[in-house]
Amino acid sequence: MLPLPPVIAWTLGAVGAVFMSKLLAREWRRVNAELDAQQRAAEEMRPQEIPTLRRDASGVYRPE
């Protein structure tokens, strides 16, 4: 089995690096979009919509 010439090895390495960078960038954007959607949903909830929990006589925390 003959070793790869250096030019071909460098070319394959460069193509692989470009492929991996595009793959990572796409995943980065997907995760950030998901996190941004959750953050927007949390920001839209008004404080008065979030119930305050108080302990009742049995010791269980329940919304007011």
DSSP state of 52: P
User: If pLDDT is split at 50, 70 and 90, which confidence band does 6 have?
Assistant: very high
What gap in Å lies between CA 41 and CA 45, rounded to an integer?
A: 7
End-to-end CA gap in the chain: 76
Look at residue 31 in the predicted model and tell me its pLDDT.
97
State mean pLDDT over 7-27. 97
Report which residue type is found at 58: S
- Cα torsion angle, 17, 18, 24, 25, sign: positive
Q: Which tokens hold the place of 36?
A: 């941004």
Look at residue 41 in the predicted model and tell me its pLDDT.
85
